[in-house]
Structure 1
């Protein structure tokens, strides 16, 4: 019986591998989306086939998994998982079929989240948040090798939601309150501030051609998706919802954006053209989407 169960599990993993490999030869718009969902008992990571709507669960964890991020070679996903009754968040990696799960960070009572890969796949940058012994809230940016070694804080940077640009610089939003979208060198030097508002601008993501940045902002009273040029010019509002929107992500060809939007129960994931048109819901009970690059 155990052997049959093992063989059945192996077949499922092989099917997921075949599915993911098959996407590579598809039109770029149809490459899969990784996202987190509470469709099952716990928050797990799923893959969505954009073309036919097929969903595949690739994690099975007693806690919560989320913030999936594809590696440049498309073979791995970085993500976070929660421990200690959600008091500790840690960064992990796994193969794109959910196998070979590895925990990379282990600091207790720290919230490690939003991992993203360097363009060469050798580094992972992530956010760390926590309250210290005197009650001060910290928002830090850390970097490590993709195997979890050589973890170090980029001490000049205060903020979260970091990601690499193609030239190796880091895009992030600065510490709350009044977070702004910023770019800095990987050592924390030469900080460039792109936005300037009395409210928070959060969660920046650069377009595949490196010319635009999608982000979220509360500047018009509600948290919506915006886009701007890489130098901060031409800032435009794309969504007009009554609820808060989160975590924009670009399609591989840069023609579309996906994002999550709050509901009374959880979140739903929406897709739209990069000018805000053709808005449609693609996932119920899903959040933190990341499009396969």
Structure 2
């Protein structure tokens, strides 16, 4: 009797090991490199890249707290005819929304909008100029021979229901208020404002409405995000000096900023313990914390300045400034990275397409994030 019991137990153990080994091998075969047509050689941290928009300029796509949806800005003519960016929501897996459409307009359709984000309760925030006029505010791409970004004083930060209904000013007043993002713990909003006379970071406490100025050094401080534990912020900043400081002030007075010399900084969420992470030439911007909190992804053209600086890639770096690593390798434009809240996926915007043809369209892409690349990732080569 004991012999039969031992024999049966042995059979069960053998079957279990065989099943695990079989399913393990099967799981390893789930990734098929030949179908990853949007992936480029050298992109060892990205798998199963999917394109979610298909025309125009689509940017700053950010995850909902449950990772099911993305909110983004777009000037795509198939979505609206306003002529400048409006805010939309879409499902992160590319499926249709409950109304049967793939994209839902959640801004007013008036003015110009930018920098949208989900709140933890499901509501949304975004910056808009619509209160000062229904049309797109006029701007120019170059000022005094310099490539510039417009800083519209008419931007205020609005809060609305998830479907875009009942928009109300959340953060407003005189000057530019935009570039708002939300802490993962749902307590704070960090944004950029000219309310103090310069482009500085401010923190807004959602429960009380209390404001705290986080930066006070001359230069553009913007595009801030919180770490996953909500204890730190990361942002882009310029630190002009001498003649460059004079030119910076002159441009800002005329409503512009030159995104030419930017580097990445981190600090505690009260603005203390500021640390410069990058010390690279060119424009280093669009930073986002790795889920570990020990690394940062950001966009940069420092490696293409000798060729004109038009190529932008996403890089990763340790928060102490070491270990710089290139993440994207399309040869064109890749920016605005954000990790999903479960840390498994990355969303970003790129000029890439499966035909690998030149285009000025900037679209939204999502990929599986591979923290520890395997041989299949390291040796990946696209099918031509």
* TM-score over 0.5 for the pair: yes
Determine the structure 2 residue equivalent to 1:274: 319
Equivalent residues of 1:156, 1:188 under 8 A apart: no
User: What are the superposed Cα offsets for residues 1-56 of structure 1, whole Å, 9 maximum, x if unpaired?
Assistant: xxxxxxxxxxxxxxxxxxxxxxxxxxxxxxxxxxxxxx99xxxxx9xxx8643252
Q: Tell me how far apart the structure 1 counterparts of residues 334 and 213 of structure 2 sit (CA, whole Å).
A: 31
Determine the structure 2 residue equivalent to 1:169: 188
User: What are the superposed Cα offsets for residues 129-177 of structure 1, whole Å, 9 maximum, x if unpaired?
Assistant: 4785998742211111122222112253541111123243321111386
Number of matched pairs: 245
Q: Tell me how far apart the structure 2 counterparts of residues 201 and 188 of structure 1 sit (CA, whole Å).
A: 24
Determine the structure 1 residue equivalent to 2:214: 194
Change (3 A) 1:224 1:163: same
- For the pair 1:205 / 2:225, whether they are aligned, the reply is yes
Q: Tell me how far apart the structure 2 counterparts of residues 154 and 73 of structure 1 sit (CA, whole Å).
A: 23
Structure with larger RCO (C-alpha < 8 A, sep 6+): 2
Change (3 A) 1:189 1:64: same
Change (3 A) 1:188 1:113: farther
Change (3 A) 1:60 1:228: closer
Equivalent residues of 2:266, 2:276 under 8 A apart: yes
Which piece of structure 1 moves more, 170-179 or 268-277? 170-179
Which piece of structure 1 moves more, 77-86 or 136-145? 77-86
Determine the structure 2 residue equivalent to 1:30: none
Equivalent residues of 2:288, 2:338 under 8 A apart: yes
1:119: Cα distance to partner?
Answer: 2.1
- For the pair 1:288 / 2:290, whether they are aligned, the reply is no
Which piece of structure 1 moves more, 166-175 or 277-286? 166-175
1:191: Cα distance to partner?
Answer: 1.3
Q: Tell me how far apart the structure 2 counterparts of residues 229 and 271 of structure 1 sit (CA, whole Å).
A: 20
Name stretches of at least 5 consecutive residues in structure 2 with no aligned partner: 1-36, 97-102, 139-151, 242-260, 342-384
1:237: Cα distance to partner?
Answer: 0.8
| TM-score normalised over the length of structure 1 | 0.74
Equivalent residues of 1:154, 1:187 under 8 A apart: no
- For the pair 1:154 / 2:202, whether they are aligned, the reply is no
1:260: Cα distance to partner?
Answer: 0.8
Q: Tell me how far apart the structure 2 counterparts of residues 197 and 105 of structure 1 sit (CA, whole Å).
A: 33
Q: Tell me how far apart the structure 2 counterparts of residues 118 and 64 of structure 1 sit (CA, whole Å).
A: 24
- For the pair 1:96 / 2:84, whether they are aligned, the reply is no
Q: Tell me how far apart the structure 2 counterparts of residues 115 and 55 of structure 1 sit (CA, whole Å).
A: 26
Moved over 6 A (4+): 133-136
Determine the structure 2 residue equivalent to 1:28: none
Name stretches of at least 5 consecutive residues in structure 1 with no aligned partner: 1-38, 41-45
Equivalent residues of 2:177, 2:191 under 8 A apart: yes
Q: Tell me how far apart the structure 2 counterparts of residues 146 and 172 of structure 1 sit (CA, whole Å).
A: 20
- For the pair 1:246 / 2:266, whether they are aligned, the reply is no
Decide which structure has greater strand share.
1
Q: Tell me how far apart the structure 2 counterparts of residues 75 and 51 of structure 1 sit (CA, whole Å).
A: 25
1:187: Cα distance to partner?
Answer: 8.0
Q: Tell me how far apart the structure 1 counterparts of residues 291 and 92 of structure 2 sit (CA, whole Å).
A: 17
Q: How does 1:20-169 map to 2 (within 5 A)?
A: 52-54=45-47, 56-83=49-76, 87-100=83-96, 101-108=103-110, 110-120=111-121, 122-129=122-129, 137-156=153-172, 158-165=176-183, 166-169=185-188
Q: Tell me how far apart the structure 1 counterparts of residues 119 and 73 of structure 2 sit (CA, whole Å).
A: 17
Which piece of structure 1 moves more, 159-168 or 209-218? 159-168
Q: Tell me how far apart the structure 2 counterparts of residues 188 and 155 of structure 1 sit (CA, whole Å).
A: 13
Q: Tell me how far apart the structure 1 counterparts of residues 317 and 95 of structure 2 sit (CA, whole Å).
A: 32
1:66: Cα distance to partner?
Answer: 1.4
Equivalent residues of 1:225, 1:239 under 8 A apart: yes
Structure 2 counterpart SS, 1:68: strand
